Chain A
Amino acid sequence: MSLKIIVLAKQVPDTRNVGSDAMTPEGTVNRSALPAIFNPEDMNALEQALRLKDQFPGSTVHVLTMGPARATEVIREGLYRGADGGYLLSDRAFAGADTLATSYALATAIRKIGIPDIVIGGRQAIDGDTAQVGPQVAQKLDLNQITYVNSIDEVKDGLITVTRHIDGGVEKVQAPLPILLTVNGDAAPCRPQNAKLVMKYKRATAPMERTEDMPYAEEYEKKPYLTVTQWTVADIDGDYNQCGLAGSPTKVKAVQNIAFKAKESKTLTGSDEDINGLVQELLNEKIIG
């Protein structure tokens, strides 16, 4: 059995290393001050996809992303770890997309590629934190979906069994293929880059990244795998009204800067009485239990 897998991945500003210049005075993210990285939970999703490829030889993994030219880096990172190829959705008309327009673009691109056995992505991106794009893509493609996946336990006879996170524990669920999965950050970390694949794909680029004076330009003729597929709205037969800003009903009304302040504090001694009191309080508040 071989599987066709599409990994949804996003290039995001690294909000984990935020400095004082991370926000503009207008309250939007200052993207130039933050390094662009592969969204962490999408990396977990990529690992799950690559494990299936290891398990079922002949399977293919493609990375699908939307963004400016530099977002091709996400596709290269996938290629360096074992992905077979990637698609970059890049067009001015895609810009400013909220989750609805994003999921429209991704779903339309997936239809263009052909519905695979598995679409898999991270639960959410660290810039927007909505966790909406995966489920919306599933809805638009009329696919089953399983969210909060920790591990894929088995794929057999057209059925997939996964362990997923629920409140207070995990559960095992099974569903028929094709399916869309979203993966948690506590799933297995992604494997390192592979030396041979990096050597092979280090000059893989989307045409829009290339410049006239690029060294080794003649390589692109000879080695088709060095060209990353790059699609505009028109290339995926998309509806301009459903893409980018035009297709985004979400409008940011206002952004507030919040400074966290400590509210109240209690000082406890190490006595049994104080500790029992604290445990009781945490139980009552359902913080533990």
Chain B
Amino acid sequence: MANYYTDHPEIGFHLNHPEMKRVVDLREKDYADKDKYDYAPVDFEDAMENYRRVLEITGDVAANIIEPNSESVDLEGPHLENGRMIYASKTFENIEATKKAGLWGVSMPRRYGGLNLPNAVFSMLSEVISAADAGFQNIWSLQSCIDTLYEFGSEEQRQEFIPRVCQGESMSMDLTEPDAGSDLQRVMLKATRDEENDCWRLNGVKRFITNGDSDIHLVLARSEEGTTDGRGLSMFIYDKRDGGVDVRHIEHKLGIHGSPTCELTYKNAKAQLCGSTRMGLIKYVMALMNGARLGIAAQSVGLSQEAYNEALSYANDRQQFGQKIINFPAVYDMLSRMKAKLDAGRSLLYQTARYVDIYKCLEDIQRDRSLTAEEKQEMKKYQRLADAFTPVAKGMNSEYANQNAYDAVSVHGGSGFIMEYKSQRLMRDARIFSIYEGTTQLQVVAAARYISNGTYLNIIKEMLERNVSEELRPLHAHVEEMVAQYEESLARVKEAADQEMQDFLARRLYDMTAEIIMSLLILDDATRCPELFEKSANVYVRMAEENVAGKAAYIKNFTSETLNNFRS
């Protein structure tokens, strides 16, 4: 039987990354749960076995339930009935299967009924589910909103809501409004204190809310009357059981049809404040968004894999001019690039997830005891790395998913344009990845400060020192050259001391950064496991070289005056 986890040994390779030891030891707090919960691991190896098993279950559910339902879900989509969103009929089957499999609230501590999975493993589940149906991955992975409630909510709120998510109640994050998209400081939804009932009341409209008719909502709203910026915003928990929020409209979208995108009206809806007032946007939503961005990176990798599988199987099957089309250089060029982007992007995703894990776990330990000086330093270091890598992992993987879906259609030729083939759906589904949770252009903005302050350059230099196998030395030398070009480009942009020009060229520097980092990651992977990654390392580094050299040339010949040709 097909299994979306065991069929792709590359995922298992990342599960077994050496850094996982530190992640798991921290996450399991020295395996303190082992005598309290019958499903808790007793040591590191046992925890890893648990992860493998939960991935196998997910791979099975993905391949044998979610994927077979995906076409019907795409065609049917959700609909509106008396102010309520009703999922496509097969979506209910998917939800039921994931509930039965116990795949809800998986990141939560066991004391609330969770599986205590680290983010790296959660991202793997996410990837596997997305490969089966990217739209369903949205509904499922929004459970990670509970991380934010766990982090910033009170103990009463944790006890009230976390066990419900572990039982399969779904979540949404209600942020966007008609006039507040990328610029969330403009949020107007009004929160007022209801002293009589000791709660808050929400009034207003939210738009483009993924899974907007969920059971438990995290809502960004303006609690400070008279304010107009982000400092007047707070985060609230709305429980659907209380009522007061209706779905006014479900968007008709290009892709991810199974994932309902709702317009919501709040009419005096009862809500609880989560955390402190005024911290909604500047602290909590930032945490929420970083989690969601990693979720989209995983969603992208899953879809990239599916696009590659579709293209590979068609190219092996389709004959033209008397032979399989995979034998033609133009076709295997496309396929090998797809695989290289997939492998490099996946490596970046899990590197980022491990960074997030280490700092989040230390942060969680800090809730119970104070950290040692070394631990504090470690937490700081990994927090910075996580913040720096998240926009790169999200931006690059979402772009790669689009490129791979596009190429999958190309490999299919005319058939790719026919609705009966899956590639077109992958292409439609992927299109949103580089838009929601911050467009690629905004990921570049988030990364810009780490480009200019040298965070990436430092880690690149650190990574350059790592050992690579004898066979990969020549490729490693290519990467060294790329780094030299990158440094030169950085210096040139800095020298110009022109903010607008820096903003204009930021995307090129971002791409260079990402491609160099991914080159180094894939070299590392290929050193440890040449059977799986040597080919991709060769393809990826060459591709990166081609791109980095082009961008270096572009920047080299760019001056402040050049900008005049671009301005409208």
Contact = CB atoms under 8 A, between A and B. Distances in A.
Contact of A194 (B40, B46, B65, B101): B101
B54 A195 contact: yes
A195 B115 contact: yes
Nearest to A192: B101
Interface in A160-218: 191-200, 202, 215-216
B27 to A, nearest CB: 14
Interface string B29-66: 00000000011111001100110011001001100010
Contacts of A215: 45
Contacts of A240: none
B102 A197 contact: yes
A194 B57 CA distance: 8
A215 to B, nearest CB: 8
A198 B100 contact: no
Interface residues of B, number: 22
A196 B50 CA distance: 9
A195 B101 contact: yes
A253 interface: no
16 contacts: A191-B100, A192-B57, A192-B60, A192-B61, A192-B101, A193-B60, A193-B101, A195-B101, A196-B102, A197-B102, A198-B50, A198-B54, A199-B39, A199-B53, A199-B115, A215-B45
Which interface residue of A193, A195, A196, A215 has the most chain B CB atoms within 10 A? A195
Contacts of A231: none
B39 A200 contact: yes
Contacts of B38: 200, 223, 225
A194 B115 contact: no
B106 interface: yes
B54 A216 contact: no
B60 A216 contact: no
A151 B102 CA distance: 24
A198 B60 CA distance: 14
A57 to B, nearest CB: 15
B57 A191 contact: no
A191 B46 CA distance: 25
B103 interface: yes
Nearest to A215: B45
B57 A195 contact: yes
Interface of A: 191-200, 202, 215-216, 219, 223, 225
A194 B60 CA distance: 12
Contacts of B97: 191-192
Which interface residue of B38, B42, B61 has the most chain A CB atoms within 10 A? B38
Given A197-B102, A198-B57, A200-B38, A192 B65 contact: yes
A202 B51 CA distance: 12
Which interface residue of A191, A192, A197, A223 has the most chain B CB atoms within 10 A? A192
Contacts of A223: 38
B39 A196 contact: yes
Interface string B254-274: 000000000000000000000
Contacts of B49: 202
Given A193-B101, A194-B100, A199-B40, 7 more contacts: A191-B101, A192-B61, A193-B60, A197-B102, A198-B50, A198-B53, A199-B115
Nearest to A193: B57
Closest CB pairs A-B (n = 10): A199-B39, A195-B102, A191-B100, A192-B101, A200-B39, A194-B102, A195-B54, A196-B39, A200-B38, A198-B53
Interface string B59-77: 0110001000000000000
Nearest to B65: A192
A200 B46 CA distance: 11
Nearest to B46: A216
A199 B60 CA distance: 16
Contacts of B106: 195
A12 to B, nearest CB: 15
Nearest to A219: B42
Which interface residue of A193, A196, A202, A215 has the most chain B CB atoms within 10 A? A196
Nearest to B110: A196
A155 to B, nearest CB: 21
Contacts of B100: 191-192, 194
